[in-house]
């Protein structure tokens, strides 16, 4: 790897010492996807975002990481203070962040952390018109992969149901879609304006996130109404953008999503981390305050939070007490057995421990697989306390 240090240093404008140090401390790691070798940044180092990828090819192609989007705890006055004049409101989807790029004549899908994911890469080829990248190889399409049938964030979206199999007894639908929210220069991380992004994506008929409106930054009440509507529809929240992307986007999420997150956090009690749950509870406090809730609304909120915490936690304890393994299950569809195996190999490489719960080949050759992601701390700690360990 040493032979690359000066090249990487020059390419990313980072001192050699910084790179050496990052390698020693395992902040930079070396990965491989088919015949492509690349390094990824596992944390933000100076100006290089977490998830940045540098390919060890002749051009030393760079794909910058997708930066963290900061959050408003109250829309008013945050929106008024933060934005310049106008605000574009877009829907925030609840899936996983993907950057789609074109490197050495190949379309690749990179996860937030910087891995080329074989599952996502293959799906992207089917979900997108990739001519856009062939014509504009300098851009990355940043988007959200959503739906039930992916291996990371499984959440049903009715708009992405696709029939993939049918016989006299059964119709099978894959629930999966990709919506682009940013088009950026993949080396400089500079985004297109909202208008330019829309124009380009429409030209190639690439699906992008729903624009929910453009407002004067003073019109916070209208933005609040959008949040209420999304909440009632069980949607995640909004991302607020400057029309010209002059300031970074910020985000705001619904009560529905906070409760969903809490349920997940308390099902995998000892794995998901207490900061995850604490932050959701804090968001609820500010939201209730900002939406000026009366006695009844506040009580309804308290009840749904309490249930989101207690029900999944008690259910997990009960499952462990019955000897069940606590897993998060994902139902996935692959084109072939080979693709399935390739993806299992990838999971082992990224150290995700999983069990295969179901596996079948449909008559049309599609492989249906259910994997269970294992939460080891939850399993071990719950069991240990049930067996009489002291806290």
Binding region for a copy of itself (CB under 8 A): 70-74, 77-78, 80-82, 250, 266, 269, 274-275, 277-279, 281-282, 284-286, 288-289, 293, 298-299, 301-307, 309-311, 313-314, 316-318, 321, 385-391
Classified as helix, coil or strand, 78 is helix
What is the rounded CA–CA span in Å between residue 213 and residue 69?
A: 20
Q: Which lies closer to a copy of itself via its Cβ, residue 3 or residue 390?
A: 390
C-alpha radius of gyration, the chain, whole number: 22
DSSP label at residue 26:
T
Tell me the longest C-alpha to C-alpha distance in the chain.
66
Q: Which lies closer to a copy of itself via its Cβ, residue 39 or residue 223?
A: 223
Q: Which lies closer to a copy of itself via its Cβ, residue 301 or residue 379?
A: 301
Instruction: Decide: residue 99, CB within 10 A, 0-12 exposed, 13-18 middle, 19+ buried.
Output: buried
**Sheet with 237-241, side-by-side order of all strands:** 211-216, 86-92, 237-241, 250-253
Q: Which lies closer to a copy of itself via its Cβ, residue 70 or residue 126?
A: 70
Name the nearest CA neighbour of 92 among 139, 143, 158: 143
How many other C-beta atoms are found inside a 10 Å radius of the C-beta of residue 260? 18
Take residue 59 and report the two structure tokens written for it. 């051009």
| One-character DSSP codes across 182-241 | EEEETTT-PBPPHHHHHHHHHHTT--BPPEEEEEETT-HHHHHHHHHHHHHTT--EEEEE
Residue 185 Cβ vs a copy of itself, minimum distance, rounded to whole Å: 25
What stretch of H or E contains 347? helix 337-349
Beta bridge partners of 331: 370
Q: Which lies closer to a copy of itself via its Cβ, residue 58 or residue 322?
A: 322
Q: Which lies closer to a copy of itself via its Cβ, residue 82 or residue 354?
A: 82
Residue 314 Cβ vs a copy of itself, minimum distance, rounded to whole Å: 5
Residue 8 Cβ vs a copy of itself, minimum distance, rounded to whole Å: 32
Residue 52 Cβ vs a copy of itself, minimum distance, rounded to whole Å: 23
Classified as helix, coil or strand, 351 is coil
Residue 259 Cβ vs a copy of itself, minimum distance, rounded to whole Å: 10
Residue 59 Cβ vs a copy of itself, minimum distance, rounded to whole Å: 36
Residue 245 Cβ vs a copy of itself, minimum distance, rounded to whole Å: 17
Residue 305 Cβ vs a copy of itself, minimum distance, rounded to whole Å: 4
CB 113 within 8 A of CB 40: yes
Name the nearest CA neighbour of 238 among 100, 246, 228: 228
Residue 209 Cβ vs a copy of itself, minimum distance, rounded to whole Å: 21
């Amino acid at each position: 790897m040493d032979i690359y240090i000066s090249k990487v240093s020059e390419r990313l404008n980072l001192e050699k010492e910084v790179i050496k140090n990052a390698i020693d401390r395992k902040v930079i790691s070396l990965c491989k996807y088919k015949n492509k070798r690349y390094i990824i940044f596992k944390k933000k180092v100076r100006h290089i975002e977490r998830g940045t990828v540098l390919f060890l090819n002749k051009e030393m192609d760079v794909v910058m990481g997708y930066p963290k989007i900061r959050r408003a705890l109250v829309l008013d006055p945050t929106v008024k203070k933060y934005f310049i004049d106008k605000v574009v409101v877009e829907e925030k989807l609840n899936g996983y962040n993907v950057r789609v790029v074109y490197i050495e004549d190949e379309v690749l899908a990179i996860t937030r952390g910087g891995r080329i994911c074989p599952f996502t890469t293959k799906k992207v080829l089917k979900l997108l018109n990739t001519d856009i990248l062939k014509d504009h190889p300098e851009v990355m399409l940043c988007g959200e992969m959503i739906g039930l049938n992916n291996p990371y964030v499984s959440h049903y979206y009715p708009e992405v149901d696709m029939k993939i199999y049918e016989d006299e007894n059964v119709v099978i639908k894959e629930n999966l879609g990709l919506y682009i929210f940013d088009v950026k220069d993949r080396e400089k991380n500079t985004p297109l304006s909202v208008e330019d992004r829309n124009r380009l994506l429409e030209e190639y008929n690439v699906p992008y996130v729903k624009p929910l409106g453009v407002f004067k930054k003073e019109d916070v009440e209208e933005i609040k109404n959008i949040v209420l509507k999304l909440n009632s529809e069980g949607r995640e929240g909004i991302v607020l953008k400057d029309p010209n992307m002059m300031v970074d986007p910020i985000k705001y999420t619904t009560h529905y999503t906070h409760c969903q997150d809490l349920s997940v956090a308390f099902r995998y009690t000892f794995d998901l981390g207490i900061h995850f749950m604490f932050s959701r509870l804090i968001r609820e406090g500010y939201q209730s305050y900002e939406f000026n809730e009366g006695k009844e609304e506040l009580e309804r909120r308290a009840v749904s939070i309490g249930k989101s915490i207690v029900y999944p936690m008690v259910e997990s304890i009960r499952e462990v007490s019955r000897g069940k393994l606590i897993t998060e299950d994902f139902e996935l569809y692959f084109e072939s057995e080979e693709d399935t195996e390739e993806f299992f190999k990838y999971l082992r490489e990224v150290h995700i421990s999983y069990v295969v719960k179901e596996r079948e080949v449909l008559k049309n050759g599609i492989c249906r697989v259910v994997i269970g992601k294992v939460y080891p701390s939850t399993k071990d700690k719950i069991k240990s306390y049930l067996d009489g360990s002291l806290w």
